[in-house]
Amino acid sequence: MASAQTATVVCPFCETLNRVDLARIEQHPKCGKCGKPIRLDRPIAISDASFERVTTDSTVPVVVDFYADWCGPCKIMAPLLDDVARRRAGQILVTKLDTDRNPAAGTRFGVRGIPTLIAFRDGKEVARRVGAVPPAELEAFLNSI
Ligand SMILES: [Zn+2]
């Protein structure tokens, strides 16, 4: 595992895209523009604008949680995904996309119901789960990507 693992993430403060060395996340990477810390141990909010870069420009799988604030099953999934982001920080990039504010990405990938989880490698969909999934099934999904 000599090659560097990197991911492109959105700064939650200024929305600048930052390339992050995943081997160094323990050292708490900071945003190149505003200098604030970028946390990778929780799902990172992405948007239609950043979707392409974040899902493509990463050496590790990127999981996108298509959700909405009014969606009950999404609220059930949220703590599970928080947990995944923490446990698999540096191995899988967990992101979340508010489908109300960002309708384009969901339309492009034919997302008809939420929550929908889509896993990407190099910008290509490699797996998908629709609806709230129990922890064991979520784990199996993550192990398959
Ligand atoms: Zn920033």
Closest CA to 133 of 111, 113, 110, 117: 117
Domains of the chain: 40-143 (3.40.30.10)
Distance CA(39)–CA(41), nearest Å, equals: 6
Weakly modelled stretches of the chain, pLDDT under 50: 1
The alpha carbon of 44 and the centre of ligand 1 are apart by a number of angstroms equal to 13
Note the pLDDT of residue 27. 87
The alpha carbon of 19 and the centre of ligand 1 are apart by a number of angstroms equal to 12
- Name the pTM for this structure: 0.94
CB-side exposure of 47: number of CA atoms within 13 Å?
9
Note the pLDDT of residue 5. 92
The alpha carbon of 14 and the centre of ligand 1 are apart by a number of angstroms equal to 4
Note the pLDDT of residue 26. 84
- Extract the tokens encoding 4: 């560097």
The alpha carbon of 127 and the centre of ligand 1 are apart by a number of angstroms equal to 31
Note the pLDDT of residue 15. 92
Note the pLDDT of residue 1. 47
Contact of 97 with 52, CB cutoff 8 Å? no
The alpha carbon of 112 and the centre of ligand 1 are apart by a number of angstroms equal to 32
Mark the residues whose beta carbon lies below 5 A from ion ligand 1. Answer: 11, 13-14, 16, 31, 33-34
Tell me the catalytic residues: 71, 74
The alpha carbon of 11 and the centre of ligand 1 are apart by a number of angstroms equal to 5
